[in-house]
Amino acid sequence: MSLPRLRLERCSCENGIWTIDAEEAHHLVRVRRCYSGSLVEGLLNGEKIELRLECEGESVRAREISRSAESSCRPRVVLLLGLLKNDQLDDALRFCAETGVYEVQLLFCERSVPRCDGAKLAEKMKRWRKILDEATKQAGAAAAPRLAEPTRFDGFDFSGLPAQRLAAMLTKDTKPLRGVEISEELAIAIGPEGDWSPRESGRLIAEGFEPVSLGARIMRASTAVAASCAAAAMLYRG
């Protein structure tokens, strides 16, 4: 049975004793029913840290017992994702954490319904990163996927992406994803609800993306994220 997990980014450590922040402490004690002496697993910067809790009223500390680095997740997937509606995007981000995506780049596309900037965007970024953190606890992943702020599709610089580039498209001229040999690093592009516009599809192909199919049925965008990223992980033979 796996240990209860917590993220340690907001916790502090001195001489091997961790002071657990209030939100994580509440979850451990009130939700997971942990107590003094309970063993838990802390997740931080690609490391897994075994801790023993010391609970005193509302204060929760933890003594570090051991730590180990998590092996790098392969393949290293950079996901380009057309901005989705809230519930769809929440699910997509959870799937990214569960399938081991390395980085997520959100794109404002022609068919993206949500629009946000300024203070509203800052609040959304905070919420989205929290979703990723919570999903890593469930998945037992030491590091959450990197999340870049949304940028307009037209202004995105594709030059820094991995050489292998796959784009899920609802067109006839696609190759089944199961027939693709997956590289150690790759970019996967998933469009918003309604798929990429014809202009965006053309730009992706011009930037070296190979159109792929995820099957005969039309999926919700969040399901396409889960299917494509999980398939890449399972098809990788490195």
Nearest to 191, CA basis, from 164, 221, 214, 233? 221
Residues 226, 89: contact at Cβ < 8 Å? Answer: no
CA dist., res. 217 & res. 220, Å (int)? 10
Length of the chain: 238
CA dist., res. 97 & res. 172, Å (int)? 30
Phi-psi category of 219—alpha, beta or left, where left has phi over 0 and alpha has psi -120 to 50?
A: beta
- The pLDDT of 78-99, averaged and rounded, is 95
pLDDT on residue 1: 67
- The pLDDT of 63-86, averaged and rounded, is 93
pTM: 0.89
- The pLDDT of 85-114, averaged and rounded, is 94
User: What are the backbone dihedrals phi and psi of residue 21, each rounded to the nearest 5 degrees, phi first?
Assistant: -70, 160
pLDDT on residue 113: 80
Task: Spell 26-38 as b/e; 16+ CB within 10 A means b.
Answer: ebbbeeeebeeeb
pLDDT > 90: percent of the chain: 84
pLDDT at position 129 over 90: yes
- The pLDDT of 106-117, averaged and rounded, is 85
Residue 223: alpha-carbon gap to chain centroid: 14
Residues 80, 162: contact at Cβ < 8 Å? Answer: no
pLDDT digits (tens, 9 = 90+) for 144-191: 999 999 999 999 999 999 999 999 998 888 999 999 999 999 999 999
Nearest to 77, CA basis, from 98, 59, 53? 98
CA dist., res. 140 & res. 11, Å (int)? 18
pLDDT on residue 149: 93
pLDDT on residue 4: 94
Which DSSP string corresponds to 63-112? EEEEEEEPPPPSSEEEEEEE---HHHHHHHHHHHHHHT-SEEEEEE-TT-
pLDDT at position 7 over 90: yes
